[in-house]
Chains A and B, each alone.
Chain A
Amino acid sequence: EDKVVQSPLSLVVHEGDTVTLNCSYEVTNFRSLLWYKQEKKAPTFLFMLTSSGIEKKSGRLSSILDKKELFSILNITATQTGDSAIYLCAAGGSNYKLTFGKGTLLTVNP
């Protein structure tokens, strides 16, 4: 059975801190690893990673994939209160399906 495990499940930091969110996966016919941010409604897309070792960046967020060790990390530098959200990791396999992890609840306090 396909499985995605995220850690930590929750995290509380102060504004300006740097955080690292972890995601490990076991997915048959793995094709890609996706990160989403979810606030009140449906998830919004952050990154899609398909190649090992190539960092993707968007502003203060960055992510990298290790296909040998089957994990990915999402980094957020200089955190802001607006970064408070649930961050979801999903692994894409065959039949276009995504398997989601339980998410990391990030709370950034002023």
Chain B
Amino acid sequence: GAVVSQHPSWVICKSGTSVKIECRSLDFQATTMFWYRQFPKQSLMLMATSNEGSKATYEQGVEKDKFLINHASLTLSTLTVTSAHPEDSSFYICSARDPGGTSYNEQFFGPGTRLTVL
């Protein structure tokens, strides 16, 4: 089956620093990837849709200058949290769509990255 990896799985950083999270599709080429954020005991909130070779589409209320998304290749999308603050601490999950798959909405999820900002 389609496999998506994320790196790092957890990260702790100081307030004001930037953190980069990588999302890779390991055995398929993903033209579309998605970034979600999940706070404790809450659901997944879509932050942005990442399209290879073009700008990401951000959901309402998500600051694009704070959460920089780059989808430079068909197997890699990165999310950079710039000038992180404690309120950015969360579980960040990426997913990828396999264009060769049979289901329109099927997404394959990475294992997630837990970010803690001190």
Interface residues of A (CB under 8 A from B): 31-32, 34, 41-45, 48, 50, 88, 90, 92-93, 95-103, 105
Contacts and interface: CB of A to CB of B under 8 A. Distances in A.
Given A42-B109, A97-B34, A48 B103 contact: yes
A96 B110 contact: no
A95 B49 CA distance: 9
B105 A98 contact: yes
B46 A97 contact: yes
Given A42-B93, A88-B43, A102-B42, A96 B109 contact: no
Interface residues of B, number: 21
Contact of B105 (A41, A42, A48): A48
A101 B42 CA distance: 9
B97 interface: yes
A99 B46 contact: yes
B44 interface: yes
B103 A32 contact: yes
A100 B49 contact: no
Contacts of A88: 43-44
B73 to A, nearest CB: 19
Contacts of A45: 106
A96 B97 contact: yes
Contact of A42 (B41, B45, B57, B111): B111
